[in-house]
Structure 1
Amino acid sequence: MESKIKRLIKKIKKGDQAAFEEIVNLYKNQVYNICYRMVGLPHEAEDLAQETFLRAYTHIDQFKSDKTFSTWLYRIATNLSIDYLRKKRPSTYLDADIPGTEGFTMYMHVPSDERLPEDRLIENEKQKIIHYEINQLPPKYRSVIVLKYLQDLSLKEISNILNLPETTVKTRVHRAREALRKRLRHF
């Protein structure tokens, strides 16, 4: 896969827009998910994902071919999301509906026809609360939680994306988990 990506990047650097479209198709879901998990708003996540690909295209010459492209791309998405949060912090209220959670579980993709409606309702409410609490974390902690537990990336990959030492990432993951544990202790 990585050799295919490197071939596409060489084509993009020569001006091949079809190659870039292929890159977008390969990574659009992952980039959108990172942005969405960071900002919690579908429309804003779409805009940030588009901006991520625009920045990647316009700065493709800055990509070093000895690095992993996905790490570079995810770093752009994460940084744009953090910048968005710094500039325009969305207000969320406890009784507000969390977009995108109607009728399914956001973090646990294990739907079953055998579950009772009451069980689904309880699970959805739990997920709304967890999503809300993740969104209350400072961006530096939210980003590591999103990348580690929702994108299932390793500490090394997160370290590369955020351009931080692996020990710092590990500390932030621990502190973020502790903060979430305290906020969710009544569950």
Structure 2
Amino acid sequence: MAVVREPSDRSSGPEEQEGIGESDGFQRLWTPHRMAYIKGENKPTGPGEDDGCPFCEIPKGDDEDGLIIRRGAAVFAVLNLYPYNSGHLMVCPYRHVADYAELDDAEALELAQFTQRALAALRKASGAHGFNVGMNLGTVAGAGIAAHLHQHVVPRWGGDTNFMPVIGRTKVLPQLLRDTRALLAESWPQD
């Protein structure tokens, strides 16, 4: 949960800290949940599926706890724990593969179909104006978890890039992930 402090508030966090100095006039939006991402918590320890790969672990649990929106035969759709925008999801093969070229025909087909259905679900649920869809293949390309292929589907709206992410490097998300998961699962097109 984010906590906003007024400019006149001299605290540097949710708890009052005495003697810190004079106010600089800035408001603070505290997002302590982001620290897990910054510290790399729950990141794999290596490239193997037994090295703590979250995309291998998530499907072993239930959909709500794992934020899984829909399961297919070869792939599944799951919300991103650290979304760029509300509704940011990923389509992942169950099989632990790093590169798009490693997918077999059935996996590639279902990944494409799930991406189409994700677009439809996000349009229905949120009225997204557009999307960023893509994969970062390899660490140098920006993949946070390079050992397990995943395709991002990020909904976009006019004006969603404002001063918060540009200047403040902070995203304000209007809905809890569990609520977003439930809404998208309900909006997912019937197979």
* TM-score with structure 2 setting the length: 0.27
- Identify the structure with the greater helix proportion: 1
Larger Rg: 2
- Identify the structure with the greater strand proportion: 2
